[in-house]
């Protein structure tokens, strides 16, 4: 019950809403692959269940799960959560799921980007990725929304919008060799405007240091309200993150949004740096062709990688000295929404965090 449409959202009067606009639900994928999640995925499954339970307090949640894990997921997830069978290669529905767009009448459609596991055969993180690439279509079928299938490689985590015409991206990701190397920056800008219904793209150079997604913006810099962004920061000038954050700060200070506003910028100091322990590494299957998880590897931990639900925000924390400042900043930025913290380490070990594992379904209202 999902017709494929050949035009573009912009041409049809659709735009991607900001994450703080009203949701009618949220989707996740149950984690399981043992070459990415330690100990057969059991600690990650518990961590995802905590996130699901928190989101389910504020909006309906659907969890997609493989046939093999269906019974196990159904038993662990809260009864009020919808569980549907869906083949997958991993559990990052922010990146392989549809990007929902809405029009002024409140109609909702899905944009089905080409997904190639963050770089395909150039620097992708696993092979194959065909099941993940089919996720967006299957979600659109179940949601009963029509679908734009694009010829453009993109993950939902590489974009962030204010809902009023402005988009944040990083050059590190969108100009990477593993995505759309045949397109110029101008051509990519045009496609982003057409498929997201935005008027202005703010290009930041790079994202978080060692982020295996090639610097997804959702782990680095995101809108918190129209005219206001939060930016991953470090005060340590010797940390490789410093130059990245400073370069972004200068661009953000010098630009305006699509409505002509100067941007307010809230710096959120990064946790850690956080690294993989020997025990954590030992629980991950070694498989040729999948990114290894070696002891001592630095993880791209970030407080920016949160989920903005209907009346709460899910914020990953790391038992880190910087947790308190992040919580305080979020409390102010997102009032009157409640800030619900969840342990972020287990999801971070898989390569992302709360925002990466969720995909809101806007209500269109």
Cβ closest to a copy of itself, residue 74 vs residue 261 = 74
Closest distance to a copy of itself from the beta carbon of 310 (Å): 17
Give yes or no for residue 286 binding a copy of itself (CB under 8 A): no
Cβ closest to a copy of itself, residue 137 vs residue 338 = 137
Cβ closest to a copy of itself, residue 73 vs residue 276 = 73
Omega cis (within 30) before 128: yes
Q: Give the contacts of 101 (CB within 8 A, at least 6 positions apart).
A: 9, 14, 15, 16, 17, 108, 109, 110, 111, 148, 195, 196, 197
Q: Extract the tokens encoding 126.
A: 């696993």
Contact map string, positions 86 to 115, toward a copy of itself, x by CB under 8 A: xx----------------------------
96 is a catalytic site residue: no
Measured CA to CA, the distance from residue 261 to residue 242 in angstroms comes to: 26
Task: Give the count of residues interacting with a copy of itself (CB under 8 A).
Answer: 25
Residue range at the interface with a copy of itself (CB under 8 A); choices 9-17, 140-148, 299-307, 328-336 = 140-148
Closest distance to a copy of itself from the beta carbon of 86 (Å): 5
CB half-sphere exposure, 281, CA atoms < 13 A? 13
Cβ closest to a copy of itself, residue 149 vs residue 269 = 149
Measured CA to CA, the distance from residue 35 to residue 211 in angstroms comes to: 18
Cβ closest to a copy of itself, residue 86 vs residue 299 = 86
* Binder of a copy of itself out of 42, 74, 228, 337 (CB under 8 A): 74
Residues in 112-131 at the binding interface with a copy of itself, rule: CB under 8 A: 131
* Binder of a copy of itself out of 6, 79, 104, 121 (CB under 8 A): 79
Give yes or no for residue 138 binding a copy of itself (CB under 8 A): yes
Closest distance to a copy of itself from the beta carbon of 131 (Å): 7
Measured CA to CA, the distance from residue 281 to residue 275 in angstroms comes to: 10
* Binder of a copy of itself out of 47, 81, 217, 229 (CB under 8 A): 81
Question: Which residue's structure tokens are 């999640």?
Answer: 37
Cβ closest to a copy of itself, residue 87 vs residue 194 = 87
* Binder of a copy of itself out of 42, 82, 149, 261 (CB under 8 A): 82
CA nearest neighbour of 313 among 248, 245, 207, 225: 225
Where does this chain bind a copy of itself (CB under 8 A)? 1-3, 60, 62, 67, 70-71, 74, 79-87, 131, 134, 137-138, 141-142, 144
Q: Catalytic residue numbers?
A: 356
């Amino acid at each position: 019950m999902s017709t494929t449409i050949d035009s573009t959202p912009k041409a049809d009067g659709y735009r991607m809403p900001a994450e703080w606009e009203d949701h009618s639900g949220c989707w996740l994928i149950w984690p399981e692959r043992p070459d990415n999640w330690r100990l057969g995925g059991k600690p990650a499954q518990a961590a995802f269940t905590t996130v699901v339970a928190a989101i389910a307090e504020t909006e309906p949640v659907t969890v997609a799960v493989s046939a093999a894990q269906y019974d196990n997921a159904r038993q662990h997830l809260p009864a009020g959560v919808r569980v549907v069978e869906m083949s997958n290669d991993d559990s990052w529905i922010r990146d392989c799921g549809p990007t929902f767009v809405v029009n002024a009448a409140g109609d909702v459609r899905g944009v089905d980007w080409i997904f190639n596991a963050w770089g395909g055969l150039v620097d992708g993180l696993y092979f194959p990725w065909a099941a993940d690439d089919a996720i967006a279509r299957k979600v659109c079928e179940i949601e009963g929304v029509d679908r734009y299938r694009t010829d453009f490689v993109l993950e939902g985590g590489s974009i962030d919008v204010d809902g009023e015409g402005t988009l944040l991206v990083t050059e590190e990701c969108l100009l990477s060799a593993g995505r759309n190397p045949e397109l110029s920056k101008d051509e990519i800008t045009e496609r982003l405007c057409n498929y997201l219904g935005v008027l202005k793209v703010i290009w930041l150079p790079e994202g978080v240091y060692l982020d295996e997604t090639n610097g997804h913006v959702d782990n680095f810099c995101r809108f918190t309200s129209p005219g206001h962004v939060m930016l991953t920061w470090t005060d340590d000038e010797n940390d490789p993150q410093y130059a990245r954050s400073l370069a972004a700060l200068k661009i953000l200070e010098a630009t305006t949004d699509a409505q002509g506003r100067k941007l307010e910028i809230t710096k959120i100091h990064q946790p850690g740096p956080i690294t993989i322990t020997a025990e954590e590494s030992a629980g991950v299957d070694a498989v040729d062709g999948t990114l290894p998880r070696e002891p001592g590897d630095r993880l791209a931990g970030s407080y920016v990688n949160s989920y903005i639900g209907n009346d709460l925000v899910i914020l990953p924390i790391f038992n880190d000295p910087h947790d308190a400042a992040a919580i305080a900043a979020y409390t102010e930025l997102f009032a009157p929404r409640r800030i619900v913290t969840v342990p972020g380490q287990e999801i971070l070990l898989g390569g992302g965090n709360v925002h990466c594992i969720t995909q809101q379904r806007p209500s269109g209202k």
